[in-house]
């Protein structure tokens, strides 16, 4: 069994009347890419801020590397790399100088630091921009600088809070690949996001949060096995007589159907060849249809089934 890197027990954080974290329990083990997935306002950043002792909490306990985390636990803090949701770099310093500054907080040796800074620059792909000031960088490049500043000292534990929000696809891929590489080189990662696709792509274990509570936890396969949905069939069909809709709803393994704006959605639980059975009903009723597709469950379906609402809207 891998070592426990983080242990959060019964964490409660209130902002006045609002309960931002409601008895949260989390255990993160060495070598994991641990995903905290939840919609905006679910408490991800609050969790990170409590974890880092940046924020006082009302109840509970936090241990990192087997020791209680406190505002003065500098031996622990030294081994953590933090990439905050809001980019925090110095406008007056160049890309190189920014990374050198943050790295210098941990690595006093000049020659070693030079090597580390160069590694970080290469790692995020900012070689062509080292003399640029942050204001001259695009959103994606600025995010990459933010990451380089957080990881240059080669920390054992790296925490990234929504590092891909408002980032172009090229930078996003670079960031996701980079996180996987950091993990391969031995770092434990905590990654928060409201993008389920990213979390599915890179996280080895995931906790889904909603309203300050952990509502589910496991690998993506385990999470998907928790729910009833195994397949969602979508069919574009301009006209669907009520009795045909009902007949489809009564097919084996179909547990729910929706028809709106010319699209029929059929939710299936188990079974094989669900699509063929549905199309067979349409054919027997001599109905024409357009695009047809079937999807395996996503983490959004997990969230939907547990909370009754969608994790995010499509463009998110
Ligand atoms: P997330 O990072 O998942 O989007 P946050 O941890 O930022 O969520 O916020 C959790 C809840 O706490 C939200 O309802 C948010 O409005 C509230 N909140 C966050 N920070 C503060 C604060 N400083 N004062 C009051 N309420 C806050
Ligand atoms: Mg946040």
Among 13, 14, 17, 20, the mutation site with the greatest number of ligand 1 atoms within 8 A of its Cβ is 20
Q: Is the pLDDT of residue 169 over 70?
A: yes
Nearest residue (CA) to ligand 1, atom 27: 15
Same domain (yes/no): 207, 111: yes
Nearest atom in ligand 1 to 209's CA: 3
209 plus 243 within the same structural domain? no
Q: Are residues 80 and 174 both part of a single domain?
A: yes
pLDDT for 308: 85
- Average the pLDDT over 124-149 and give the result: 95
Q: Tell me which of 224, 242, 272 is where a domain ends.
A: 224
Residue 85 pLDDT: 87
Instruction: Tell me how far apart the alpha carbons of residues 225 and 57 are, in angstroms, rounded to a whole number.
Output: 34
Residue 312 confidence (pLDDT): 67
213-233 pLDDT per residue, tens: 999 999 999 999 999 999 999
Asked whether 63 and 12 are in contact (CB, 8 A), the reply is: no
**What does the pLDDT look like over 104-127, one tens digit per residue?**
999 999 999 999 999 999 999 999
Q: Quickly tell me which residue has 């949060």 as its tokens.
A: 209
In a domain, 45, yes or no: yes
**DSSP, residue by residue, 119-184:** HHHHHHT-GGGTT--GGGS-HHHHHHHHHHHHHTT--SEEEEESTTTT--HHHHHHHHHHHHHHHH
Residue at a domain's end among 224, 256, 282 = 224
Residue 310 banded pLDDT, cuts 50, 70, 90: confident
Structural domain contains residue 307:
no
20 lines ligand 1 (CB under 6 A): yes
Domain boundary among 224, 250, 283: 224
Distance, CA 316 to ligand 2 centroid (Å)?
14
Residue 41 pLDDT: 95
Q: Which two tokens stand for residue 85?
A: 């949701």
Residue 282 domain boundaries: 231-296
- Ligand 1 centre and the CA of 270: distance in Å? 39
Ligand nearest to the CA of 162: 2
Residue 31 domain-assigned? yes
pLDDT (average), residues 23-30: 97
Predicted local distance difference test score (pLDDT) of residue 166: 83
Does the pTM of the predicted model rise above 0.85? yes
Q: Is the CB of 134 under 6 A from ligand 1?
A: no
| Residue 62 CA to ligand 2 centre (angstroms) | 19
| 251, 108: one domain | no
Binding site membership of 18 for ligand 1 (Cβ less than 6 Å) = yes
Are 203 and 244 found together in one domain? no
Residue 314 lies in a domain: no
Ligand 1 atom nearest the C-alpha of 38 is 3
Q: Are residues 165 and 203 in the same domain?
A: yes
Q: What is the mean pLDDT of residues 180-205?
A: 95
* Bridge partners of residue 12, in order along the sequence: 59
Asked if 104 and 251 sit in the same domain, the reply is: no
The answer to the question of residue 205 being in a domain is yes
Confidence of residue 316 (pLDDT cuts 50, 70, 90): very low
pLDDT at 315 over 60: no
Is residue 145 domain-shared with residue 241, that is, in the same domain?
no
Residue 150 Cα to ligand 1 middle (Å) = 23
Structurally, the chain folds into a number of domains equal to: 2
From ligand 2's centre to the CA of 41, what distance in Å? 7
Position 235 in a domain:
yes
Establish if 195 belongs to a structural domain: yes
**What is the Å distance from ligand 1's center to 53 Cα?**
16
Do 41 and 20 have their domain in common?
A: yes
Tell me which of 64-73, 268-277, 305-314 is least confident: 305-314
- The CATH code of the domain that includes 247 is 3.30.70.100
Same domain, 123 and 266: no
**In a shared domain, residues 188 and 259:** no
- Name which residue sits closest to atom 20 of ligand 1, judged by CA: 46
Is 305 domain-assigned? no
pLDDT tens figures, 258-303: 999 999 999 999 988 999 999 999 999 999 999 999 999 999 889 9
Q: Using 50, 70 and 90 to split pLDDT, how confident is the model at 1?
A: low
């Amino acid at each position: 069994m891998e070592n426990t890197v983080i242990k959060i027990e019964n964490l409660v954080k209130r902002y006045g009347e609002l309960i931002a974290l409601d008895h949260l329990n989390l255990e993160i083990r060495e070598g994991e890419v641990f995903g905290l997935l939840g919609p905006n306002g679910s408490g991800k950043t609050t969790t990170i801020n409590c974890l880092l002792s940046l924020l006082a909490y009302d109840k509970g306990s936090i241990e990192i590397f087997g020791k209680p985390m406190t505002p003065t636990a500098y031996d622990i803090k030294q081994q953590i790399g933090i990439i905050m949701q809001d980019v925090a770099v110095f406008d007056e310093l160049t890309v190189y100088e920014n990374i050198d500054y943050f790295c210098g907080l941990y690595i006093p040796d000049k020659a070693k630091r030079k090597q580390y800074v160069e590694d970080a620059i290469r790692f995020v792909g900012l070689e062509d921009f080292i003399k640029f000031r942050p204001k001259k960088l695009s959103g994606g490049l600025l995010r990459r600088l933010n990451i380089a500043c957080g990881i240059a000292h080669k920390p054992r534990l790296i925490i990234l809070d929504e590092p891909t929000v408002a980032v172009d696809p090229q930078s996003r891929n670079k960031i996701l690949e980079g996180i996987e590489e950091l993990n391969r080189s031995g770092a434990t990662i905590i990654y928060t996001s409201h993008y389920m696709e990213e979390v599915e792509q890179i996280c080895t274990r995931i906790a889904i949060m909603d309203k300050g509570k952990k509502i589910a936890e496991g690998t993506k396969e385990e999470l998907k096995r928790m729910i009833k949905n195994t397949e969602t069939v979508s069919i574009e069909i301009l006209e669907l007589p009520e009795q045909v809709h009902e007949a489809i709803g009564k097919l084996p393994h179909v547990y729910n159907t929706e028809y709106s704006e010319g699209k029929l959605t059929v939710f299936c639980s188990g079974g094989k060849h669900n699509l063929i059975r549905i199309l067979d009903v349409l054919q027997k009723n001599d109905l024409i249809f357009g695009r047809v597709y079937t999807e395996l469950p996503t983490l959004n379906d997990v969230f939907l089934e547990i909370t009754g609402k969608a994790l995010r809207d499509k463009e998110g």
